[in-house]
Amino acid sequence: MMAYFDCFSGISGDMTLGALIDLGVPLPWLKEAIAALPLSGFDITAADVEYNGIKAKRVEVHAHGDHHHRHYSDIRTLIERSPLPEQVRGTALSIFRRLAEAEAGVHGCTPEEVHFHEVGAVDAIVDVVGSALGLHRLGVTEAAASAIPSGRGFVVCRHGRLPIPAPATVVLLKGIPIYGTDQEYELTTPTGAAIVSTVAQKFGPMPLLAAAGIGYGAGCRNLEPGPNLLRVVIGEAAESLSREGNVFKQDQIIVVESSIDDMNPEIFGFLMDRLFQEGALDVAWIPIQMKKNRPGTLLQVLCRRDDLGAVARCILTETSSLGVRYHEAGRFMLERDHVTLDSSFGPISVKRVRYPHGEVRLVPEFDVCRRIALERGLPLRTVYDTVARDAAERKITGKQGDVA
């Protein structure tokens, strides 16, 4: 089961708990399981609220009595010695470890020396452990999340006046897509950032998902224009799309574009080579008409998110372009891999493509055919046709790399 955290209005610990309870995690069961830490002197309430016409669960943790602040080592010991399921303990420990490392980086100490204040209070322990319990109860084994929004302004805590997002939140979201908003409010808290950055393996648009349940967790108050909610969608992740026997792979890529009308066209060939060196999956030149009816070229590059910076830098340094634009896109692909074909020219690599309804096709690789043509002094077309004929006559079976 996959969970998708749709953080359109940020994320906090209580919003996460609220969404999981709204998804069906029983509140009495949750209280009993958390009390087994052992942790006492608290109560959890979940009320139905309506923000912008959407019904959601508003969770509050009420601590009774005098609760001292705890060091990270105290919290770790509390969880390690608990009778909670191993997976729940592991998730909760990972979340608090990330919190401790983030706080340590901000305050210039080791994680063991971190003295939690707000984060170490009973409500945060309940939020973290309760979230780990709720995900386990729902059978969630993988998670993804949207980009994370941040408010602006300042928040007052035990350390004094801190900027939003809080320093620990920024550290926790390092490497994760985040964006700013005009809300003068802490949309994403350190606890929420620790939870989502620990349990989610990828960030971006919702992946292909057969939704089985949707839960909404409410913030402590609605915000204008709202709604101040966290939406969690659970369901079976579909790595492929199946319809009427047709099966396709699906993934997410980045499309990078730039319009160019004032560059020596001889540079384009060199640019293509450089872009592939920087991780481009594909490069295309598209003729376009630009302002003042000038003919130009639309440069379009496909790449992985991790290669976006390198690809953009390459375009801006190797061309006359003053800027690039990019967006994320989904794509469907036929299943493919590479196998070794015992061809008329000896063992060579060919692409194996799996089509709908079980059909398999072997496709000659251009670079391989080009090398053979140059080495043997043959026309490229002759080599390509020979390899294609060899591929059609031989049945390729087995795993990638097998020789047929």
Please tell me the pTM assigned to this model: 0.65
Is 401 in contact with 340 (CB distance < 8 Å)? Answer: yes
Instruction: Report the candidate in 28, 65, 20, 22 with the shortest Cα–Cα distance to residue 44.
Output: 28
Q: Which residue pairs, CB below 8 angstroms and at least 24 apart, start in 160-167?
A: 165/193, 166/190, 167/106
- How far, in Å, CA of 291 to CA of 229, rounded? 44
Show the CA angle centred on residue 387, arms to residues 382 and 389, nearest 5°.
95
pLDDT tens for each residue of 197-228: 999 999 988 888 889 999 999 999 999 898 99
Q: What is the pLDDT of residues 70-125, one digit of tens each?
A: 788 888 999 999 999 999 999 999 999 999 899 888 877 877 777 665 444 788 89
Task: Report the alpha-carbon angle 62-219-234, nearest 5.
Answer: 105
Letter string b/e over residues 217-232, b meaning 16 or more CB atoms within 10 A of that residue's CB: bbbeebbeeebbbbbb
Residue 105 CA neighbour count, 13 Å, CB half: 14
Could you give the 3-state DSSP secondary structure of residue 228? Answer: coil
- Look up residue 250 and give its two tokens: 């699906």
- Rounded Cα gap, residues 104 and 109, in angstroms: 5
Residue partners of 86: CB distance under 8 A and separation at least 6: none
DSSP secondary-structure letter at 355? P
For residues 112, 118, 121, 126, the Cα torsion angle rounded to the nearest 10 degrees is -100
Q: Give CA separation, 324 vs 55, 309, 314, 321, in Å.
A: 41, 11, 11, 8
Q: Which residues contact 159 (CB under 8 A, 6 or more apart)?
A: 117
**Cα gap 126→39, rounded to integer Å:** 9
Q: ω into residue 38 within 30 of 0, thus cis?
A: yes
What residue has token string 């026309």? 379
At what angle are helices 190-199 and 122-137 packed, to 10 degrees?
Answer: 30
Position 107 scores a pLDDT of 73
Helix (H, G, I), strand (E, B) or coil at 225: coil
Q: What are the tokens at 204? A: 């971006």
Report the chain (404 residues): mean pLDDT per 10 consecutive residues: 96 97 97 90 93 96 71 89 94 94 82 61 88 96 94 80 90 93 92 96 87 95 93 81 55 91 93 96 95 92 93 96 90 85 91 81 90 95 92 59 40
CB atoms within 10 A of CB 278: 19
Say if CB 205 and CB 212 are below 8 A apart: no
Q: How many residues comprise the chain? A: 404
Backbone region of residue 383 per phi and psi (left: phi > 0; alpha: psi in -120 to 50; beta: other values): alpha
Domains assigned to the chain: 2-238 (no CATH), 247-333 (3.30.70.1380), 335-393 (3.10.20.300)
Q: What is the CB neighbour count within 10 angstroms for residue 277? A: 10
Euclidean distance between CA atoms 112 and 74, whole angstroms: 9
**Nearest one of 123, 69, 124, 122 to 96, comparing CA atoms:** 124
